[in-house]
Structure 1
Amino acid sequence: MNNYKSSIALFLKRFFLIVIIYQLSRILFYCINREQFGDFTLETFTGGLLFDFAAIAYINTFFVIFHLIPGNFKYKTTYQRILKIAFYSINLIFIATNFIDIIYYRFTGRRSTFSMITAKGMEKEAVGLIPSFLKEFWYIAVIFFLVSIILWKLIPNLKKINLLETVTRKDYYKQTAYFILSLVIILIIGRGGLQKKPIKIVDAIKYGALSNSALVLNTPFCILKTIAKKEDIDKVNYFDEKELVSIYNPAITLQPTNPATKKNVVILILESFGDENVGRGQTPFLDSLITKSYYFKNGFANGKVSIDAVPSILSSIPSLMNNSFISSSYSLNKINGLPKILKKEGYNTSFFHGAFNGSQNFDQYAKVAGFEHYYGKDQYIGKEAFDGRWGIFDEEFLQFYATKLNSFKQPFFSSLFTISSHNPYIIPEQYKGKFPKGTTVIQESIAYTDFALRKFFATAKKQGWYKNTLFVISSDHTSSGGDQAIDKTNIGKFSIPILFFDPSNPELVGVNEKNFQQIDIMPSILDYLNIKTDMISFGKSYKSKDNFVVYYLQGTYHYIQDDYYLAFANNQAIGLYNWKKDVLLKTNLMQQDKAKTQQMERFLKAYIQTFNDRVINDKLAN
């Protein structure tokens, strides 16, 4: 039995070595992204330890078997060498995901899941973007390389083996008992304890501040929890059908009294133009345009990544899943968004994105959404303007866009997604030093795209279709930067500029202070154009009296109603704040205002149930 006990000790030493490395990666994660989180408390540490143990247990369940299965064969040198290499390699791969998220978290605001790392549409970009990330964040690669060497050096080997030790039948019984007990223990650790249900990603919010959930989690846990889960939304039954419809109904009918105006519609989606980058000296043209537009001061994104913005803006479908709608199995659901509705009204429809064709599955979604034409990098015609990474510089692509719009029969509906203010934030060589650097790494490229936008409008003004066009401008999401405390809150992380500009309508000017989100854009455009139609929209028209916003991030729903903000997770409200007075969300009002909490929770539950039912049952179109 001494040999067997040595095997048990060997596994435990290796297991706890991995635990230590997970703690070191969390500390590094916190230090490099410190401005994104609250205080690193003891509660945060213990919660993180729980999730680390769970992930490591899941990953190493097979190694429990290989280390502790009864029999003398496992003490052979070759077996032990293969076992050590396998243990090292598999654990190092998962440790690597923690290190990748140290940087990637800045751009997504959440830990990576299996769907994120396997999403289609990023294959070509990765060839150019990975070297850029390594160049910019080389120190992470160096630290990981050192950790990989240290890990190999520190992994203990099996020692003190008595090759002459005999194993009796009684010893086999004992070994089998230890083996079964070890499997039971590792599975209990993997599920996070003996509670009724295994711990889930969303359970991280129980440990410390709401903003610290990503700090409590680890990336291997998030990947493992989503690797076998086909879908990441569940059918919920908070209300019966009659009560549900009485609380919230996304079926909207527009019955205008005036005839349709048949104006052209151009939607410009600006990469990473969050509020933290606007009105601070980097965007003089957009700042000026805002004063001539109908500007939604309290604008919000419905997601944290570009792939979430397209269905939100064009089809009024929010991102209420860990997996982006475009990359989910629901991406082929029937939808009745702007392209299909306006096509019925005689519009020519097109979508433009200067990146490689197939980028982020935008071309596939354009087909599903009903666009007649898609123009990517492959369709670009003009002077050489490839940024060397993943697409055509905004200046040239926006000029190409203006030329193509000139060739379309009116009325047309078209949308363009810019790319230059995306990591690695490359601007053309001739403009180096021309734009202000700003206070964050992205802001020079933001200024370049603003310049490209100015040139686009200068060209557009000369075209016959210009004055008969409604321009809608929205950011896709906020950026990873932001030098003010409010930028880091669950309000600031989603605050973006949204504006409507109609050069022929001097009355469509002013500041709207109602809560407005990307999914409100579709019904607002149709309402403005006096289009008679029925639609499924999870947003509302700018003319509506409703004043709500709903968005989601890794297990937590965020709901804004008037001046109040509610955080909701694990089927219950977890925080209520007056976000207008308490801009940093310091004072939880749940106990002080239970009536408001219950009222908001009731609406949000109905919203969630309606969204989940319609997505699962393919009822996103009338």
Structure 2
Amino acid sequence: MTNYKKSIALFLKRFFLIILIYQLSRFLFFFMNLNLFENFTFQTFLGGLIFDIAAIAYINTIFLIAHLIPGNFKYSPTYQKYLKISFYVVNLIFIATNFIDIIYYRFTGRRSTFGMITAKGMEHEAIGLIPSFLKEFWYIGLAFIIISFLFWKLIPNLNKNLVHQKLTRKDYYIKYSYLVLSIVIILIAGRGGFRKKPLKIVDGIKYGALSNTALVLNTPFTILKTITKKEDIDKVKYFDNKELESIYNPVISLKPKGATIKKNVVILILESFGNENIVRGQTPFLDSLITKSYYFKNGFANGKVSIDAVPSILSSIPSLMNNSFISSSYSLNKINGLPKIFKKEGYNTSFFHGAFNGSQNFDQYAKVAGFDHYFGKDQYTGKEAFDGRWGIFDEEFLQFYATKLSSFKQPFFSSLFTISSHNPYIIPDKYKGKFPKGTTDIQESIAYTDYALREFFKTAKKQSWYKNTLFVLSSDHTSSGGDKDIDKTNIGKFRIPILFFDPSNPKLTGVNEKNFQQIDIMPSILDYLNIKTDMVSFGKSYKSKQNFVVYYLQGTYHYIKDNYYLAFANNQTIGLYDWKKDVLLKDNLIKKDPSKVKEYEKFLKAYIQSFNERVTTNKLAI
């Protein structure tokens, strides 16, 4: 075998070694999150292999060139040493992202993207949370160290017994032709083989059940696919403007007949209070409050991470792209959410978040949204209550909140985002053993925040503003997992409690069975208070006859109307289910009910086109 052929063989051995490691990390990903996926099938393995080869091909194209570039210089020990080290380091960094997502997936429900790991504010969170993650999930770190060691030991080396040959011009021509051919082959592998369009994140759906998409994908691929995409919004043109408006128009005009009701409005956004955590013994106060409120039984989040919830709830902007709106380049778009609308009505406006300033970029968004005041960890005053990681314990911060509300001129509009039921789920030492542990890691901290809510309302009841206040409570998203199969479906992953509580209005009670989402909160509040306004809202008022919900997760749009749920990806419907009868989404009705598929597709396409056009052209406000 010539030296050049040995270089080709060396690269192929190294390439296949990385494929093996990627497959190993996928099996770890599956077994560590067994309750979140359906069965691991051969199709899942095959699809995963295709995505692994694509990611590895992209990452290692430069190393292919370094291995195969003609010339005797590359056979020197020094060249080979640095080639091996750089090959190891670069690939190990990408392998590490697969291991990180073994745990991070439980919280986001999707593989990490470039936008997620580089979002402004994430660097602050990492400082506080990575140490606790490493402590809690030490076994993942240990597994990665073992893999890192084995990877280095198993990287083959170039045979030292090389016979140096003088290369002729013909030799160079032949070797360059090999190099060019190899680059073509690896680029074809990178695009997923011979296909019309390169492999995309959403193509993972083709190789398994909808809930198994993340298992088919790998994190290096999703990062690479989003590293150059500044926006994550595709330009679509399903309809001309006239037809689009006739199908769906997000402009809502509220023209109440009665006089404006100048009530204070308080929105409490509860960290990870998904349906899997309520009415199960962990939230006695919230459960009791639900019975005194107007409760949206079929409430849904419009995203899977905290950073998606704030624009959804406060500005009626859903999360329909892989990057969160707050961290995207569209975050400075003109928006006309609740803060600005209430400000025109003479309200004092404020936003509270007990974490360090800069967390989740909420402070910047508060400015863009038009809040008068932002209160974070830096603005907190009171007894020492730092949780040692990233913010103020909920009990003390909610008491601080009640005090600040009493200092504001009425009417006021204010929102607070709780933090204690966020990983690492720290509760004050004095409450250790006081609350039920529950069946999942998060539930003790859920019970603590529920207690903090109870204490907040005890204090609030004593204030002069209490009876003249509308309280809205909503979870930001579901938690990392529930203990029932229904919690793990693509419906269950987004089910959250949403309720309106007005202590002065006994008529605003009962259970609403209609489908209701976070982006419906804004128009519903304004409608309830008889505020006259025109706005862009991708939701609808609770008084509306419409009964839909739309959310999105890594390439798949989810649409719920009445009793049906439709999944839409790659420009086509991939699932239709009667989600109230078929709670585990086992019976796909695509072929059984094509007329419903066509009807739902038409609306969803109009919804997507309207959202994409308004975001990209900065038309989120009238």
Range into which the TM-score falls when normalised by the shorter chain: over 0.9
Q: CA deviation at 1:229?
A: 1.1
Q: CA deviation at 1:264?
A: 0.2
Matched-pair contact (CA < 8 Å) for 2:266–2:471: yes
Aligned to 2:239: 239
Q: CA deviation at 1:176?
A: 1.1
Report the count of equivalent residues: 622
Partner of 1:297, secondary structure, is strand
Amino acid at match of 1:425: Y
| 1:438 correspondence with 2:428 | no
Matched-pair contact (CA < 8 Å) for 1:303–1:553: yes
Aligned to 1:474: 474
Matched-pair contact (CA < 8 Å) for 1:386–1:392: yes
Aligned to 1:339: 339
Partner of 2:453, secondary structure, is helix
| 1:489 correspondence with 2:489 | yes
Partner of 1:60, secondary structure, is helix
Aligned to 1:74: 74
5+ unaligned residues in a row in structure 2: which ranges? none
Aligned to 2:395: 395
Q: List structure 1 segments (4+ residues) > 6 angstroms apart after TM superposition.
A: none
Q: Counterparts of 2:423 and 2:160 in 1: how far apart (Å)?
A: 53
Q: CA deviation at 1:162?
A: 2.6
Q: CA deviation at 1:364?
A: 0.2
Amino acid at match of 2:471: F
* 1:175-574 matches, cutoff 5 A: 175-574=175-574
Amino acid at match of 1:433: G
Partner of 1:552, secondary structure, is strand
Amino acid at match of 1:61: T
Partner of 1:106, secondary structure, is helix
Matched-pair contact (CA < 8 Å) for 2:294–2:512: yes
Partner of 1:244, secondary structure, is helix
5+ unaligned residues in a row in structure 1: which ranges? none
Q: CA deviation at 1:125?
A: 2.4
Q: Counterparts of 2:160 and 2:120 in 1: how far apart (Å)?
A: 50
Q: CA deviation at 1:38?
A: 1.0
Partner of 1:441, secondary structure, is coil
Q: Counterparts of 2:167 and 2:300 in 1: how far apart (Å)?
A: 68
TM-score computed with the length of structure 1 as normaliser: 0.99
Q: Counterparts of 1:124 and 1:326 in 2: how far apart (Å)?
A: 16
TM-score computed with the length of structure 2 as normaliser: 0.99
Amino acid at match of 1:614: R
Q: Counterparts of 1:25 and 1:126 in 2: how far apart (Å)?
A: 23
Amino acid at match of 2:445: S
Matched-pair contact (CA < 8 Å) for 1:559–1:567: yes
Amino acid at match of 2:66: F
Q: Counterparts of 2:206 and 2:238 in 1: how far apart (Å)?
A: 22
Q: CA deviation at 1:234?
A: 1.2
Q: Counterparts of 2:606 and 2:253 in 1: how far apart (Å)?
A: 20
Q: Counterparts of 1:559 and 1:210 in 2: how far apart (Å)?
A: 14
Aligned to 2:609: 609
Q: CA deviation at 1:262?
A: 0.5
Q: CA deviation at 1:230?
A: 1.2
Amino acid at match of 1:221: F
Partner of 1:567, secondary structure, is strand
Q: CA deviation at 1:208?
A: 1.2
- Cα deviation digits, residues 197-222 of structure 1 (max 9, x gap): 10100000000101111000000000
Q: CA deviation at 1:160?
A: 5.0
Partner of 2:331, secondary structure, is helix
Matched-pair contact (CA < 8 Å) for 2:203–2:570: yes
Matched-pair contact (CA < 8 Å) for 1:350–1:414: yes
Matched-pair contact (CA < 8 Å) for 1:6–1:160: no
- Cα deviation digits, residues 365-417 of structure 1 (max 9, x gap): 00000000000000000000000000000000000000000000000000000
* 1:55-66 matches, cutoff 5 A: 55-66=55-66
- Cα deviation digits, residues 17-57 of structure 1 (max 9, x gap): 00000000000000011111111110110000000000000
Matched-pair contact (CA < 8 Å) for 1:3–1:160: no
Q: CA deviation at 1:305?
A: 0.2
Matched-pair contact (CA < 8 Å) for 2:72–2:164: no
Q: Counterparts of 1:14 and 1:127 in 2: how far apart (Å)?
A: 34
Aligned to 1:597: 597
- Cα deviation digits, residues 529-588 of structure 1 (max 9, x gap): 000000000000000000000000000000000000000001111100000000000000
Partner of 1:351, secondary structure, is strand
Amino acid at match of 1:218: N
Q: Counterparts of 2:324 and 2:524 in 1: how far apart (Å)?
A: 24
Q: Counterparts of 1:580 and 1:67 in 2: how far apart (Å)?
A: 57
Aligned to 2:44: 44
Amino acid at match of 1:534: D
Partner of 2:500, secondary structure, is strand
Q: Counterparts of 1:253 and 1:81 in 2: how far apart (Å)?
A: 68
- Cα deviation digits, residues 185-243 of structure 1 (max 9, x gap): 01000011121110100000000101111000000000000001111001100011111
Matched-pair contact (CA < 8 Å) for 1:475–1:497: yes
Matched-pair contact (CA < 8 Å) for 1:3–1:161: no
Question: What is the CA RMSD across the aligned residues, in angstroms?
Answer: 0.7
Matched-pair contact (CA < 8 Å) for 2:36–2:481: no
Matched-pair contact (CA < 8 Å) for 1:44–1:208: yes
Q: Counterparts of 1:449 and 1:164 in 2: how far apart (Å)?
A: 71
Q: Counterparts of 1:122 and 1:74 in 2: how far apart (Å)?
A: 41
Partner of 1:362, secondary structure, is helix
Q: Counterparts of 1:453 and 1:121 in 2: how far apart (Å)?
A: 27
Partner of 1:330, secondary structure, is coil
Q: Counterparts of 1:176 and 1:575 in 2: how far apart (Å)?
A: 49
Q: Counterparts of 2:189 and 2:372 in 1: how far apart (Å)?
A: 53
Q: Counterparts of 1:379 and 1:424 in 2: how far apart (Å)?
A: 23
- Cα deviation digits, residues 237-287 of structure 1 (max 9, x gap): 001111100000000000000000110000000000000000000000000
Q: Counterparts of 2:442 and 2:5 in 1: how far apart (Å)?
A: 56
Aligned to 1:128: 128
Q: CA deviation at 1:164?
A: 3.4
Amino acid at match of 1:471: F
Q: CA deviation at 1:161?
A: 4.0
Partner of 1:473, secondary structure, is strand
- Cα deviation digits, residues 115-162 of structure 1 (max 9, x gap): 000011122222221010001100000000000000000000000543
Q: Counterparts of 1:421 and 1:164 in 2: how far apart (Å)?
A: 65
Q: CA deviation at 1:168?
A: 2.7
Q: Counterparts of 1:427 and 1:399 in 2: how far apart (Å)?
A: 16
Partner of 1:558, secondary structure, is strand
Amino acid at match of 1:505: N
Q: Counterparts of 1:58 and 1:127 in 2: how far apart (Å)?
A: 30
